[in-house]
Amino acid sequence: MYNEPLRDPRLLACLQCDLVQRLPDVEPGGSARCPRCDRELWRRRDDSLNRTLALTLAAMLTYVVANSVPMLSLSAVGHHASTTVFGGAMQLWRDNEKIVAMLVMFAAVVAPALQIGMMLIIILAAHKPRPPHWVGTLLRHHPFTRTWSMIEVMLLGVLVALIKIAELATVIPGLALFALGFLVLLFAAIQANFDSRDVWDRVEWANREQPDHVPAAAVRVVS
C-alpha cells in the first residue's frame, strides 16, 4: 500500500531533525540548509547530468587502469615482487584471513565498481524526460555503495605500507597508485556535480500515479 503524496511538492522534512519546511528558491550553485540543524537540504548544480556523465566515464577508465596494472613493486637482494589492488585481498585470503579478505575486496574493488556502474546507468537513463521507475531504485541504493567504497582510505593505507617497506627494500610506486589518486579526485568531483533531486523530480513513480504538478519545472525556478 503506497502512501499519498502531499499537494505541495516543495514541502519536505529534514532527514536529520525532521523539521517540516518549504524548500526555497535556490540560485544555480547555491544551496538550501535546514534552519534548525544546518544540514544541507539541496545544492543546485548546473548542467549536472552532462558533467557527471563525463566524470563517470573518466572514472570508469581510471578504475580499469587502477585494477589491471601493478600498484607497488619491490626489489631487494635480487628479488622482485609486485602487487595489484586485487593482490592485497588475495594475500589475506591465502593467509587464511578470509573474512577480512572479503571486506578488503568489497571496499577496494567491488563497491567502487558498483558505485561507478550504477551512477553510469542512472545518468544515461536520466537523460530521458521521464526516467523509468528502476532508475529510482538504483538511485535509492547508490548511497550504500558510496559508504562502503573506500578508495581514499585504501590509498592512505598503501602510502603507509610503502613507507614501512621502504626501510627494508626499494619500493617503486606503480601506475595504479597514480590512477587511484586520480580516481579519488574523480569521485569527489562526481559527488560535487551530481544533483539527485533533478533525477528524483522527473523519475517515474513507484505507484505509477505521478501527480502532474510534480515535474522539475514546478520545483526548480529558473532565474
Partner 1 sequence: MNVAGTSAMAHGLHSCEGCGLLSRAPGGAAEGRCPRCGAHVEFRKRDSLQRTIAFLIAAAVCYIPANVLPVMTTTTATGTETDTILQGVVLLWSPTGWPLSLIVLFASIMIPSAKILALVFLVISVRRGSVENNEQRTRLYRIVDLIGRWSMVDVFVAAFTAALVQLQPLMSVGPAPGVFFFSAVVVLTMLAVESFDPRLIWDSSNPRGL
* Contacts to partner 1 from residues 34-63, by CB under 8 A: 35-39
1 binds partner 1 (CB under 8 A): yes
Question: Which residues from 181-220 bind partner 1, rule CB under 8 A?
Answer: 197, 200, 203, 205-207, 209-210
**CB of 167 vs partner 1, minimal distance in Å:** 8
Residue closer to partner 1 (CB basis): 124 or 204: 204
Q: Is residue 161 a contact residue for partner 1 (CB under 8 A)?
A: yes
Residues in the chain, how many? 223
222 closest CA partner among 9, 26, 11 = 26
Identify whether the C-beta of residue 118 lies closer than 8 Å to the C-beta of residue 141. yes
Which helix (H) or strand (E) covers residue 75, if one does? strand 72-76
Among 137, 175, 217, 221, binds partner 1 (CB under 8 A): 137
Site string for partner 1, 11-30 (x = CB under 8 A): xxxxxxxxxxx---------
Q: Does 175 bind partner 1 (CB under 8 A)?
A: no
Q: How far is the CB of 57 from partner 1 (least distance, A)?
A: 25
Q: How many residues bind partner 1 (CB under 8 A)?
A: 75
HSE toward the beta carbon, residue 221, CA cutoff 13 A: 8
Neighbouring C-alpha atoms within 13 Å toward the C-beta of 28? 6
Check if the beta carbon of residue 73 is closer than 8 Å to that of residue 174.
yes
| Under 8 Å between Cβ of 214 and 10 | no
